[in-house]
Structure 1
Amino acid sequence: MNRIERALLTSGLGLSLALAAGTASAGSWQQNVAAGGFDKVHIYTPDTTSPIGNGKSLLIVLHGCVQPTDAYLTANLEDAAEEFGMVIAVPDAMNKAGYGCWSYWEGEKTRETGDFKNLINLANTLSGDGSRDIDPDQVYISGLSSGATFANTAACIAPDVFAGMGISAGPSIGTSPGGAIRNCESADVASRCSSYAGSYASHFSSQIASITHGVNDTVVDHCYHTQNAEGMAKLYAVDQVPGSNTFNDGSHTANETLWQDGRVSMLWLNGVDHSWSGGEGASGNYVSDAGVNYARYLGQYFIDHNKRVVQGTAGE
C-alpha cells in the first residue's frame, strides 16, 4: 500500500494536519496540534529520513501519571529524531483517570474505544500526511508508566498499525491500578495481548518490543520488567539469547538482554528512577538525565530489528 492509498483510507479519521496546524515545519516542534482525536499533540518533524525503508519513521510517546506533555519538549527527543529520521508525537490523553494517568485499567480495550481509537487514528493520520513523509511500516509507540501500559495495550490491539513498542516502567497489561505502585500482579501477558488483537493477531509475526525499567525505580515493581519481556517473547514464540550487551550513551550505560532475531529487548536503565530516561542534559517532570537517552536506543533498536522493511532499502 503506498502513501496515497494510505491517506485515502485514513482521510475519514480526522482533519488533516495541513488543515489543523498548517504546513509541517521540518526540524522543529509544533506544539498543541489537534490531530487524530487528541486536542493537544506536540510533534517534532526532523530534516532527516530513516536509514531503512521509504521516508521517516514515527514514534508516538505517551506521558506518565501527573506528567505534563511539555516535559518531553526538554527530554532530548529531537536528538533521536534527527539522528534516526524519526517523527516524534506526544499526545495528551483525552480520557484520563486519576492523577492524569492513561486509563489502561478502565473500559473496553478495542480499536473503537476511547484513547485506543485515538492513538490508531493519530498514527494513521500522521503516516497518511504526505508532508511528513512517514513510512507506514515504521510506526512505533512508547510510553512511561501508565503511558507504557497503555502503549503496550494499543500495540496489542493494533499490531497491524504498530510495528514495534517501547515500554518503560509499565505495569503489565490487564492489571489493576492497585498493582501499579510497589506491588506486583501476576499476568499472562501473551494471552491477554493475543486476545486484544483478535483477527489482527497474525501481525504479531512482524512486531518487535523493547521493555525497559530504571534500576532505581521504587514506584513500579521490577517484577513487571521481566514479566512483560517474557510475556511478549512468549507471544512472539522466540527464545532468549544467552548473555547480555551494554548500550553506551555518553557517560551513561544500560544493560540489554535480547531474544531471537531481536524480537524482544529487555533493557535495564542504570542510574534511573521512575522517569523517562532522556540522557545527558535532559530535564522536566519525571524525565531523568541520569541514564541513557532511551529515545536514541529505540531509534537504533527499531532500525536494526524492524521486520516490515527489507533492510538496506532506504529511498527505494
Structure 2
Amino acid sequence: MVNAMMIPGSPRALCRLLVAAALSAAAAAHAGGWQQNLAIGGFDKVHIYTPDSHSPIGDGKALLIVLHGCVQPIDTYLTANLEDAAEEFGMVVAVPEAMNKAGYGCWSYWQGTKSRSAGDYKNLIGLANSMSGDSARGIDPDQVYIAGLSSGASFANTTACLAPDVFAGMGISAGPSIGTSASGAIGPCETADVASRCSAYAGGHASHFATQIASIAHGGADNTVNRCYNEQNASGMAGVYRVELQPGTTTLTEGGYTAEESLWEDGRVSMLRLNGVDHSWSGGENASGSYISGAGINYARYLGQFFRDHNRRVDRSPTPGSVGVDNAIEGGQVPPR
C-alpha cells in the first residue's frame, strides 16, 4: 500500500504516483493467461488467452479466433506459442472446438448452408460479437480477426466472407479454397472462383471488403493439402479487394526459420510459403502438438504484425493528448499508416 504521508511533492505529483501504483497493482492482478473449456458464443468449449498488454493501434486489445484442423484437438494450441503473439501485439486469442463437425472432426466447410445464421458460421460470428461486445474484455471491435488450419482455414475464410463487417482480417493456413469439395482437400487441386464465391457470400455486407485484409499461408513441405490453393486463395481474395500483386518477394527470418512473402497493393493481401513446414500450424521454435510445427516461423506472431501494420479500420490519425496511459508508461509508439 502507498502511504501518502511518505510521498514528498505537490498534490499533482502525489496523484500521479498513486495512479501509477494502482496501474501496477492492476497489471499484477490481471497477468496474461489461459482460460480453458469456456462455453461462449454458441460453443461448448473455447480456450481463451488474454494478454496483459494492449494493441499498439486502435482502442484496447485485438481479438484473433483460431480454428483447428481435422483430427486436431484444440488443446494442442496450448503449446503452439500463441501466447507470444498475444502478448507482443495485445491480442486476445480464442480457440473454439467446432460444434457441427464433419468426418474426422473437420469444420464442415463443404457441407450445409453458407449463411450468417447457419451452424458454426453463426456461432463464430456470435463468439466474435460476444467477446468484442463485452466491455470487461477490452476488445476493440475494429480489430477482430479470424484464422485457421486446413478445414479450419477454409471455414475461417468462408466466415470472413460472410461477415466482412465483423472480421477486419483473416489468416488462412493450408486451406482448400472456399466452396470446394471434401475430396479436393487431399486430391488434385480444384479450380475455384474464390473472388466470385466470397463476394456472393457477403451479399449486402460486401461494402466492408473495402477495409478487410487477408493473409494466405501454406507449408512448403505440405504433402496433404495441395499447395496450389495458396496462390488460388491469395489471388482470389485480391480479386475481392481489387488490388494488384506487387513485384518481388521478401524472405522473412525468425530464428533459424524462413518464409517467402508476396504482397498485394497497400498490404491488403499477403501470401506466405512457410519453408520447412508440413501440413501443420506453424508455431515457431519449440512449438509442439498434433499438427503443430516447430519447424517454421511463428505464424500467429506474423499475423499480429500483419494486422497491426495493415488494419484499415482503426483511426491512426494522431490527436492532441491521444497517447494513452499504457503507451506513456511503456513507451509504445503507434506505427504510421
TM-score for the superposition, normalised by structure 1: 0.91
Contact 2:30/2:52 (8 A) holds in 1 = no
Q: Which stretches of structure 1, 4 residues or more, deviate above 2 A after TM superposition?
A: 310-316
**CA distance in structure 1 between the partners assigned to 2:147 and 2:213 by the alignment:** 12
CA distances 1:176-235 after superposition (whole Å, capped 9, x unpaired): 001000321000000000000000000000000000000000000011001000000011
Shift of 1:96: 0.1
**CA distance in structure 2 between the partners assigned to 1:183 and 1:94 by the alignment:** 29
Asked whether 1:144 is paired with 2:149, we answer: yes
Shift of 1:25: 5.2
Contact 2:41/2:126 (8 A) holds in 1 = yes
Shift of 1:129: 1.3
Q: Give the match for residue 76 of structure 1.
A: 81
- In structure 2, relative to structure 1, the CA distance for the partners of 1:53 and 1:251 (3 Å cut) is same
**CA distance in structure 2 between the partners assigned to 1:56 and 1:298 by the alignment:** 14
RMSD: 1.2
Matched ranges for 1:113-262 at <5 A:
113-262=118-267
Helix, strand or coil for the counterpart of 2:303?
Answer: helix
Q: What percentage of residue pairs aligned between the two structures are identical?
A: 73
Please identify, of 66-75 and 126-135, the stretch whose mean Cα deviation from structure 2 is larger.
Answer: 126-135
Shift of 1:26: 4.2
Contact 1:143/1:149 (8 A) holds in 2 = yes
Helix, strand or coil for the counterpart of 2:37?
Answer: strand
> Which of the residues 98, 101, 106 maps onto 1:96?
101
Unaligned runs of at least 5 residues, structure 1:
1-23
**CA distance in structure 1 between the partners assigned to 2:296 and 2:30 by the alignment:** 30
Helix, strand or coil for the counterpart of 1:34?
Answer: strand
Helix, strand or coil for the counterpart of 1:59?
Answer: strand
Contact 1:66/1:101 (8 A) holds in 2 = yes
**CA distance in structure 2 between the partners assigned to 1:119 and 1:182 by the alignment:** 28
Count of matched residue pairs: 293
Shift of 1:157: 0.2
Asked whether 1:311 is paired with 2:310, we answer: no
> Which of the residues 72, 79, 85 maps onto 1:67?
72
Q: Give the match for residue 56 of structure 1.
A: 61
**CA distance in structure 2 between the partners assigned to 1:26 and 1:183 by the alignment:** 47
Contact 2:219/2:273 (8 A) holds in 1 = yes
Helix, strand or coil for the counterpart of 2:186?
Answer: coil
**CA distance in structure 1 between the partners assigned to 2:216 and 2:252 by the alignment:** 14
**CA distance in structure 2 between the partners assigned to 1:241 and 1:266 by the alignment:** 11
Shift of 1:251: 1.3
Contact 1:279/1:290 (8 A) holds in 2 = yes
Q: Give the match for residue 111 of structure 2.
A: 106
**CA distance in structure 2 between the partners assigned to 1:151 and 1:142 by the alignment:** 6
The one-letter amino acid of 2:313's match is R
The one-letter amino acid of 1:67's match is Q
Bigger CA radius of gyration: 2
**CA distance in structure 1 between the partners assigned to 2:242 and 2:137 by the alignment:** 34
Contact 1:54/1:315 (8 A) holds in 2 = no
Q: Give the match for residue 275 of structure 1.
A: 280
Shift of 1:132: 1.2
Please identify, of 239-248 and 208-217, the stretch whose mean Cα deviation from structure 2 is larger.
Answer: 239-248
**CA distance in structure 2 between the partners assigned to 1:227 and 1:156 by the alignment:** 16
Q: Give the match for residue 301 of structure 2.
A: 296
**CA distance in structure 2 between the partners assigned to 1:121 and 1:156 by the alignment:** 15
Asked whether 1:36 is paired with 2:48, we answer: no
Larger RCO, structures 1/2 (Cα 8 Å, 6+ apart): 1
Contact 1:25/1:45 (8 A) holds in 2 = no
